[in-house]
Amino acid sequence: MTVAAVIYVLRCLVGAPIPLNSGCLTPVELVIPKGCLLDPPPGVAVCGGNVETSQRIVDVLLGALGLAAASQGTMNNLTLGNRGFAYYETLCGGAGATARGPGASAVHTHMTNTRITDPEVLEARFPLRLLRFTIRRGSGGRGRHPGGDGVIRELLLLEPMEVSLLSLRRELRPFGLCGGGAAAAGHNWLDGRALGGACNLQAPAGSVLRIETPGGGGYGAEAAPADGPARGHA
Q: What is the pLDDT of residues 9-23, one digit of tens each?
A: 998 888 788 888 888
Query: Residue ranges of the chain with pLDDT lower than 70?
Result: 112-113, 224-234
What are the start-end ranges of the E strands in 66-197? 77-82, 85-89, 128-136, 150-157, 161-166, 187-190, 193-194
Phi, psi of 131 (to 5 degrees): -85, -35
Helix (H, G, I), strand (E, B) or coil at 54: helix
Rounded to whole angstroms, the Cα distance separating 173 from 183 reads 6
The reported pLDDT for the residue numbered 196 is 92
The whole model's pTM is what? 0.91
